[in-house]
Structure 1
């Protein structure tokens, strides 16, 4: 692209929250926290004072509001993805946000977190690095243990429950779930951290991050009466559990259906699925999702995973001002990773290749910003590409690509640098 664009300054020091903004952050958070009657259960954090590290799970924007409530009036720096800064960079910096491009090895972020701790503030990190697709734990980077060891301060976790079922990633409509809950727990004191090995730290973090929002919903009898509660669910459950066909799933109102075999399921008020023909393959939504993962894993292990060549639109986000249309091209996701090639608006070629070992997971969006549909975003340290396959010209699932990215990484690297609960059982 001939036009040169200013790049986001990733090296800027983290800003301590301006004194006049601290009460504003809690005032902006409280309406939703009160609306959903959020309850925070403290365990060892009653007298916890900054500096410390706070690791949070990530299901919805509500997570940030609960974190603000949990630590107030302490100052904090929050690690936030670059698209969160669009059109409001100064404000987000002033309230303490640190910019990160997702799934990149960013040594600058480590330096910024060290400065946060030196300032005597709270370093708030969302290590799953994306909203959960179905309200369960995502993969965690193994570097977490090393980072905590390096920062040499207490480590706490904030695990929220109810945020996914209230406003799922695949349909953000607020369902009015209340009360929501959060576990605010101290994992390590400074002294315990110093004596623990990196593996012990990682094990404890992984154990603390086990959650399942749909199980929590059922256990607490949380009924959701919203008439569109299943709409968008086909984005996650892209493969029919009955006929096994991919990319033909549909959803409307409270129903999920397959456009290939005609099978239909109802999503109940308790978040379970019920087959309308009397047979229910998976009543628990995360079980269906993990079944899809197993099928992707089989493709990977047979070394025949391939998305095919998909026609795509590519937008870029070099800074926090606005998205820029890069051009049109193709995306292939296969046993070698992601390959994006095309021609930009000036007629020049562009290319991004992300090998399997370079990505332990990837970020996806459903109907991103309501403009061009589902997308995969791929990052370098200087840029983020938003890649939109054309639904009128190809069959695809960005959910499958996300699952395949994780399974390819595990297959090719022997699960190096990522953590799942099964690795500690």
Structure 2
């Protein structure tokens, strides 16, 4: 199959029905609104992004098979590429200009497809919608087709990006048409961007305060240190440790409990939610980066050339300095990258850091389940920004 030829409805219905039966073991779905029932393709579905299952969640309650715009590295996994090609997925390089994505989206429109897009560009880490990528509004303006905003509520608490395993709970999904073709044509790109931002915004824990759902799992706090790596009490970096429903600092013994409702509890707790803690942490990093800590972790480094499958380059350690990242293997092999030469630095899943260098795609897989790939991303991005500012002022 391809973008031009969509999977037959019976194949789509068979596969999604099987997946639905599997998901219902842990998840109760509630569709609170579904405007797609009254729209004929082609049209565009945009959605907030909180969970690995999001594309399937969205397509479960849409009659047509959706042609999703998907991250480019996924197409470099041979088996997954076959699945994506079969469904007519559209390749997109995150945080890089890619005219082929636009061409293929237009092709999907011309062949009467429903196009799916997550305008945040990434799954969020703490239950609050990330900023919408501005180029999404340009694509909406270019396509000139109806747009439906899907909103997933409960997806973060069912399977937070930092966690392992699903929690049993409830997910609410709504599909609200926000524009017809004529309405899109009459709007500016700025107006489209503002409406997309408003339509997709969701704060999971504000919603949860009203709902009070329980999300039951075996070890609900595992692995919060992937997201929250700065202690709010002693401000040490990399000292947080999760154990069942407990999250504590190994340096000063600050401790909280992570509840089935997704809130922090405990007499010493400074924050009610992971989002509040994360918000404080990002501000604290602005000071920490002035004297960055020594960072080292165990990783495997891969490289993909010309969109071919990844090849392993080395296993060893990764080290971060002021302007470089160095990979060192036990056999003495080393590879160093200057931060200002690394493009489109991004995270896939929770443990894979990717970046482009000289048009080659590199993937760094962190070995320890407690490693914070998110910490590495935040530190790299801040150091890159510092280098850019120095260059502009010199």
Residue 164 of structure 2: which of 166, 172, 177 is its match? 172
Distance in 2, matches of 1:54 and 1:110, equals: 16
Counterpart in 1 of 2:313?
326
Shift in Å at residue 93 of structure 1? 1.1
1:24-43 matches, cutoff 5 A: 24-32=14-22, 34-35=24-25, 36-42=27-33
CA contact (8 A) 1:80 1:97 kept: yes
TM-score by length of 2: 0.84
Counterpart in 2 of 1:362?
346
Distance in 2, matches of 1:52 and 1:388, equals: 37
Per-residue CA distance 1:85-115 (angstroms, 9 max, x = gap)? 5424323311222233433322111111110
Shift in Å at residue 408 of structure 1? 6.5
Counterpart in 2 of 1:109?
101
SS in 2 for 1:139: coil
Shift in Å at residue 193 of structure 1? 0.9
Residue 362 of structure 2: which of 379, 385, 395 is its match? 385
Counterpart in 2 of 1:314?
301
1:403 maps onto 2:387 in alignment: no
Matched length: 385
Distance in 2, matches of 1:329 and 1:243, equals: 31
CA contact (8 A) 1:102 1:379 kept: no
Shift in Å at residue 21 of structure 1? 2.8
Distance in 2, matches of 1:335 and 1:151, equals: 43
Counterpart in 2 of 1:204?
195
Name the Cα RMSD after superposition.
Answer: 3.5
Counterpart in 2 of 1:423?
none
Shift in Å at residue 354 of structure 1? 5.5
Counterpart in 2 of 1:66?
57
Task: For structure 1, list consecutive stretches of 5 or more residues without a partner in the other structure.
Answer: 1-11, 367-373, 415-425
TM-score by length of 1: 0.78
Distance in 2, matches of 1:38 and 1:224, equals: 13
1:89 maps onto 2:73 in alignment: no
Distance in 1, matches of 2:372 and 2:7, equals: 43
Change over 3 Å in CA distance of 1:349–1:108 after alignment to 2: farther
CA contact (8 A) 1:77 1:121 kept: yes
Change over 3 Å in CA distance of 1:41–1:318 after alignment to 2: farther
Q: Which moved more, 1:26-35 or 1:212-221?
A: 26-35
Residue 118 of structure 1: which of 86, 103, 110 is its match? 110
Q: Give the number of the structure with larger relative contact order, counting CA–CA contacts within 8 Å between residues 6 or more apart.
A: 1
Shift in Å at residue 216 of structure 1? 2.5
CA contact (8 A) 2:226 2:375 kept: no
SS in 2 for 1:38: strand
Task: For structure 2, list consecutive stretches of 5 or more residues without a partner in the other structure.
Answer: 390-394
Change over 3 Å in CA distance of 1:15–1:354 after alignment to 2: farther
CA contact (8 A) 2:339 2:384 kept: no
Per-residue CA distance 1:189-248 (angstroms, 9 max, x = gap)? 111111111111101111122112233333211123434101101211111111111101
Residue 283 of structure 2: which of 271, 274, 294 is its match? 294
Shift in Å at residue 52 of structure 1? 1.1
